[in-house]
Amino acid sequence: MDGMTTTIAPVLILLGPPGAGKGTQARMLEEQFGLVQLSTGDLLRAAVANGTEAGKQAKAVMEAGDLVSDEIVIAILRDRLAEPDCAKGVILDGFPRTTVQAQALDALLAESGQRINAAISLDVDDAAMVTRISGRTTCGGCGEGYHDSFKQPKTAGTCDKCGGTEFKRRADDNAETVASRLEAYHAQTAPLIDYYARAGALSRIDAMGEIQTIATDLAAIVKTTTA
């Protein structure tokens, strides 16, 4: 495995099932704290769109709502973390999703004498996740996320951020795949809550409320753990 020499500070992790709001909140933290949002889902979707070897292997797995192999995801994340912009600090959205990935991240950071600042669990009710996910859209221009009911653009059909008028829905945001994604979360990712609690790095927030309230709670944790 190639080493990682860049010093990245701080390193924050957002944990939570699909639909918990990790992407939305990570983008807000990116703006507020100048951190880089790193979404392995976005990196994998780009790999699929570009037809890379990793993308070819990941495509069917993602469509089924299962987890892509640790080997592929860790390699993609390691390469991305080595890019210079990550030195200002990262907020990991959707990684790690297994204990093997969490251990790989710890090892990677330890190479340059670092450790994560905080792992923050966005706590939500499963039952609400299907509704949240099925209404999601993303601006095709800048990637800003919207929701048919919870976060509409100020002017219908026009992105608040970039003025784009093309909105996309993810292929895996359908009821059937969402069920598999939630199952994968509970079986493989939820144990990380204990993993980070044992490491003394866990914070939890109630993520069932308003986007702005959650953002305020999250910002308070980021401030304390990166001070």
Active site residues: 22, 97, 136, 170, 181
User: What part of residues 197-226 is at the interface with ligand AMP (CB under 6 A)?
Assistant: none
For residue 40, state whether it binds ligand AMP (rule: CB under 6 A): yes
Task: Return d(Cα 89, Cα 109) in angstroms, integer.
Answer: 12
E strand spans, 36-178: 36-39, 90-93, 118-123, 136-139, 145-147, 167-168
CB of 163 to ligand AMP, least distance (A): 25
Stretch that binds ligand AMP, among 63-71, 110-118, 142-150, 156-164 (CB under 6 A): 63-71
Q: Which of 12, 68, 91, 116 binds ligand AMP (CB under 6 A)?
A: 68
Q: Which of 97, 132, 136, 147 binds ligand AMP (CB under 6 A)?
A: 97
From residue 15, how far is each of 77, 79, 100, 165, 183 by CA, in Å? Answer: 16, 21, 15, 31, 15
Task: Return d(Cα 44, Cα 93) in angstroms, integer.
Answer: 13
CB of 97 to ligand AMP, least distance (A): 4
CB of 154 to ligand AMP, least distance (A): 25
168 alpha-carbon distance from chain centroid: 18
Q: Which of 94, 108, 116, 124 binds ligand AMP (CB under 6 A)?
A: 94
User: What part of residues 130-189 is at the interface with ligand AMP (CB under 6 A)?
Assistant: 172, 181
Size of the chain, expressed as the number of residues it contains: 227
Q: Which of 95, 105, 108, 124 binds ligand AMP (CB under 6 A)?
A: 95
Is 99 within 8 Å of 195 (Cβ atoms)? Answer: yes
Query: Which H/E stretch holds residue 11?
Result: strand 11-15
Stretch that binds ligand AMP, among 9-17, 89-97, 107-115, 147-155 (CB under 6 A): 89-97
Q: How many CB atoms are located within 10 Å of the residue 11 CB?
A: 24
The residue ranges that bind ligand AMP (CB under 6 A) are 18, 39-41, 44, 61-62, 65-68, 73, 94-95, 97, 101, 172, 181
